[in-house]
């Protein structure tokens, strides 16, 4: 006959253990250049050391300290959020944020096609307290995900925002197929959630969907707002590149590309284009993989690979 005995620590002991873990984690952070770690590789010594202080995840300990900036999220939260965002993108995001703030460009944050929030949370860390962050996705309505470009899940997204995102922002989650949004829907989006300073387009990757999303995002930007298009010239998703060709051949866009890096193409309004190209060239142009080139007859700084 076997007897199972469950041992439980008294609550006071458990609280002291958590307090000890928090203090140990704080000491650890003081001795590690977290902000300098732009790439947190799974399995690295740094990653394992951080995880050793997070037995219950960031919800109990790490969140108290580590998610106060884009750099903190990139080091400690970004590797834990499923998605497809190049780890080298962080410098470009921070540069665009600085470039906008230096001339007083203000607005909201938005993304079409958020998946589990890997990029959306990064953009949220560039927002100011009280700003609006809007996520547009079909989420669990996968019958509308016609090309299978990421199976979104609203609960996972909300959980990731809770763990890794800023807490002092106004989040809204809009369940919609972006190609089905009417003029009324777009006007409501702009009126209630915009205008947008940073707007990522990463929804369905067909040419029709992407071109429609480009038009929606373009019309929702504030002056000096930046549109970020995912998977441009990515061979697995040719519809995105086709969509940009359609955008410039069938319409008269009010935005120009100014930066291409890690399969993301960045656009800004015509009046701001030269300013952003200059800012990116000054900060990134000396890199060995940088080249000032043209797309659609427009000057663009390209970083490849």
User: How many whole angstroms separate alpha carbon 53 and alpha carbon 110?
Assistant: 33
Q: What is the pLDDT of residue 5?
A: 45
Q: What pLDDT, on a 0 to 100 scale, did the predictor assign at position 43?
A: 45
Token pair of 303 as six digits: 């970083």
Q: Which two tokens stand for residue 153?
A: 């899940």
Q: Can you say whether residue 296 is alpha, beta or left, with left for phi > 0 and alpha for psi between -120 and 50 degrees?
A: left
Cα(242)–Cα(82) distance, rounded to whole angstroms?
27
Cα–Cα dist 142/139, whole Å: 7
pLDDT value of residue 25: 54
Torsions phi, psi for 116 (to 5 deg): -100, 5
Rounded-to-integer distance, Cα 31 and Cα 25, Å: 10
Structure tokens at 237: 């998703």
Q: Are 258 and 276 in contact (CB under 8 A)?
A: yes
Across the chain, which has 305 residues, the per-10-residue mean pLDDT values are: 49 53 55 43 47 45 62 94 96 98 98 97 98 95 70 91 95 96 96 98 96 98 98 97 98 97 98 98 98 98 96
What is the pLDDT, as a whole number, of residue 30? Answer: 53
At 117 the three-state DSSP class reads: coil
Residue 43: CB atoms within 10 Å: 6
Structure tokens at 53: 């202080």
Which residue's entry shows tokens 């609280």? 15
């Amino acid at each position: 006959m076997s007897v199972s005995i469950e041992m439980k620590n008294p609550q006071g002991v458990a609280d002291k253990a958590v307090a000890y873990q928090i203090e140990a984690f704080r000491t650890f952070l003081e001795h590690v250049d977290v902000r300098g770690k732009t790439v947190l590789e799974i399995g690295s010594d740094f990653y394992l050391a951080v995880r050793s202080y997070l037995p219950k995840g960031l919800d109990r300990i790490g969140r108290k300290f580590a998610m106060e900036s884009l750099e903190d999220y990139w080091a400690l939260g970004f590797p834990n959020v499923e998605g497809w965002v190049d780890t080298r993108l962080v410098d470009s995001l921070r540069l665009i944020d600085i470039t906008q703030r230096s001339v007083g460009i203000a607005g909201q944050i938005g993304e079409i096609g958020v998946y589990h929030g890997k990029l959306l949370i990064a953009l949220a860390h560039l927002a100011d307290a009280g700003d609006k962050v809007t996520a547009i996705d079909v989420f669990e309505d996968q019958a509308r995900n016609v090309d299978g470009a990421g199976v979104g899940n609203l609960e996972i997204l909300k959980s990731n925002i809770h763990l890794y995102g800023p807490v002092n922002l106004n989040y809204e989650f809009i369940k919609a197929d972006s190609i089905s949004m009417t003029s009324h829907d777009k006007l409501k989006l702009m009126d209630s959630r915009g205008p947008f300073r940073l707007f990522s387009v990463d929804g369905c990757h067909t040419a029709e969907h992407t071109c429609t999303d480009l038009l929606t995002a373009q019309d929702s930007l504030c002056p000096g707002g930046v549109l970020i298009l995912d998977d441009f010239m990515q061979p697995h998703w040719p519809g995105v590149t086709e969509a940009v060709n359609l955008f410039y051949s069938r319409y008269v866009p009010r935005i120009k590309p100014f930066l291409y890096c890690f399969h993301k193409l960045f656009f800004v309004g015509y009046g701001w284009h030269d300013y952003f190209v200059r800012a990116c060239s000054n900060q990134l142009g000396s890199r060995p993989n940088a080249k000032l080139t043209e797309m659609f007859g427009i000057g663009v700084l390209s970083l490849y690979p």
